[in-house]
Amino acid sequence: MKRRSFLKKLPILGAAGATFTINGIPMKLLASDHIARLSSTSDNDKVMIILQMHGGNDGLNTVIPLSNYDQYHFNRSNIAIPKNNGVRSLIELDSTLPEESKVGLHPDMMGVKQMYDQGKVSIVQGVSYHNNNGSHFRGRDIWSMGGGSEDYYSSGWIGRYLGHQYAPLAYPNDFPNSDMQDPLALELGSEVSLMFHQEGNIPTSISLGGGPEAFADLIENLEGFTDEGVDPRGTPPPFLDPSPYGEELNWILGLEDKSEDYAGRLLEVYNRSSATSVDYPESYPFNAPQGALKNRLAPQLQLIARLLDGGGDGVKTKVFLVRIGGFDTHAGQVEAHDPTMGNHAALLHHISSAMKAFQDDLRARGLEERVLTVTTSEFGRRIRSNGSYGTDHGKGGPIMMFGKGIKAGVLGVNPDQDENNVAMQYDYRQIFAGILHEWMEVDKETLENDIFFGDFFEGPKEDGSGFYEPIVLTEGVVTGEDGFLNTRFAVENVYPVPAKQHINIDLVSITKDEIGLSLYDSMGKQVFKGSHKMKKAGKLTIRQNLPVLPKGNYILKIQSSKINHTAQITIQQ
């Protein structure tokens, strides 16, 4: 392909960072002439993945309120997820939460429940921004730029973060280099996000199809520019240099070299990494429209795992953006005959099952402690459903975070359903600022002055009640799940002491499980074995009759999939 042909493709292929495909997945390289401080001075290897749910996710059918479930069902009786419907019932998330925060999950989100029970999921309720107008395009711009409803920044919060994460080298001239061979951020998909822009940049992208081998072959075979007598030098005339046209042309002419540099590196890393040992989901197993059956998120996450792995020398890319669309569910959100199935159910299954596979893949590759994933969606849906088995544009909604380093649990309370919109409990910038500070280790001065600038952290909230603060959503170090699990899967008491004909065991388990009991004498011989199947999750007391045994001290082992407890008991017959 001649460079003239290469350039002719640019106008129809979009803008904002070089785009190509690896393993059939479009990828976009963060690109800006004015990204400052771009050498690899990062002092950690933490990675952030942003999972964008295009269209405005219905948070109430994703994270279902239990404390005011009857009102929820009344407001959306034609699409409400049932409490008692056999295997297609909502999944109670955590019985240990305060009553006002107790929630259920859609029945197709079992993967999220499993990760939550491992201490790897955090849910934040009522996330939005002040004066949310329910616009797709404006909403995405606001979430991407890191501003408020009155702001119109030409840069994005991730672009500003990366601009302060790296030392002052000029991009693209000084990149890649021996310290930073990889793109600073990667977008998967062919769309463009303001999130990665910086002030004054000239975003441009190219999209080239095929797998990694085809992409590398195409780039390597780009021939030198042979102009048709108009500009034999292949560069813009000097008088254009100080103009925006000259800057854009110079950037376009440099894309070939940048694409070649990054294509070779990414292909090398991809080929060096091993194929996954985890089964990623491919499709939705139940009823849904044909276009919603294929899991389009799973291959994106699978590719990221391979790039981060790289056979032990993966990419140093700090931020990834993955996308899954279809959440603009005005009609046909659910099947008319079954509100637990349909388009929205398939999308939630795709996210839940793909994220579970991704976390398992990261753990198998020894990467789990490095990666945090956070969801975004431009707005939530209305509280009341419409007559088309759907929901209309709303305001607030939940976000989810996944990873071993997050502070697991539910933050916030179930929304007040007296109005028709989910009210804002947290500004989305509080969540992103918390992640940057606690996870990516950005100092507060940079965070408040250069990334979420303006008076967001300086002025009072819109209602005059206090000030906004970054929310601590991570544990800082990856040991946080122990405390979470110990309060949700635990033996609280074994009595009476001494025991005679029976023992009582008070325990808590937020997952319905089978509890195994084993009793051993002082010589280590097993003298009793029993089990109890929990009828529901939560707190319970097990009463276990004992066989006739000699007086003395015994060891009682209490075990389930999440509990492994040993207690010494005394028997006095």
Q: Quick check: 48 and 374 in contact, CB under 8 A?
A: yes
Q: Return the higher-pLDDT residue of 465 and 62.
A: 62
Q: Identify the CA nearest to 211 among candidates 28, 26, 24.
A: 24
| pLDDT tens-digit readout, 380-404 | 999 999 999 999 999 999 999 999 9
For residue 117, the model assigns a pLDDT of: 97
For residue 180, the model assigns a pLDDT of: 80
Q: Report the alpha-carbon distance of residue 27 to residue 186 in Å, rounded.
A: 6
Q: Is the pLDDT of residue 42 over 70?
A: no
For the beta sheet containing 538-545, the strands, ordered from the edge strand earlier in sequence to the opposite edge, are: 489-495, 502-509, 538-545
Q: Return the higher-pLDDT residue of 259 and 44.
A: 44
Going from the N-terminus, what domains does the chain have, and what CATH number goes with each? 3-479 (no CATH), 490-571 (2.60.40.3080)
Extract the tokens encoding 136.
């797709």
For residue 11, the model assigns a pLDDT of: 38
Sign of the four-CA dihedral 172, 178, 183, 184: negative
Find which of 144-148, 357-361, 451-455 is predicted with most confidence, using mean pLDDT: 357-361
Q: Is the pLDDT of residue 346 over 50?
A: yes
Q: Is the pLDDT of residue 300 over 70?
A: yes
Amino acid at position 98, single letter: P
Q: Is the pLDDT of residue 223 over 50?
A: no
Q: Quick check: 530 and 558 in contact, CB under 8 A?
A: no
**Mean pLDDT computed over 476-502:** 83
**Mean pLDDT computed over 513-525:** 96
For residue 177, the model assigns a pLDDT of: 79
**Mean pLDDT computed over 220-233:** 48
For residue 483, the model assigns a pLDDT of: 82
- How many CB atoms sit inside 10 A of residue 401's CB? 25
Q: Is the pLDDT of residue 170 over 80?
A: no
**What ranges in 147-243 are assigned the alpha helix state H?**
157-165, 212-220
Q: Return the higher-pLDDT residue of 391 and 474.
A: 391
pLDDT more than 90, % of the chain = 64
Q: Is the pLDDT of residue 554 over 80?
A: yes
Residues linked to residue 552 through DSSP beta bridges, in sequence order: 571
For residue 264, the model assigns a pLDDT of: 79
- How many CB atoms sit inside 10 A of residue 209's CB? 11
Q: Report the alpha-carbon distance of residue 553 to residue 537 in Å, rounded.
A: 31
For residue 243, the model assigns a pLDDT of: 74
Q: Return the higher-pLDDT residue of 109 and 248.
A: 109
Where does the pLDDT of residue 169 fall: very low under 50, low under 70, confident under 90, or very high at 90 and above?
low
Q: What is the mean pLDDT of the chain?
A: 84
Q: Is the pLDDT of residue 473 over 60?
A: yes
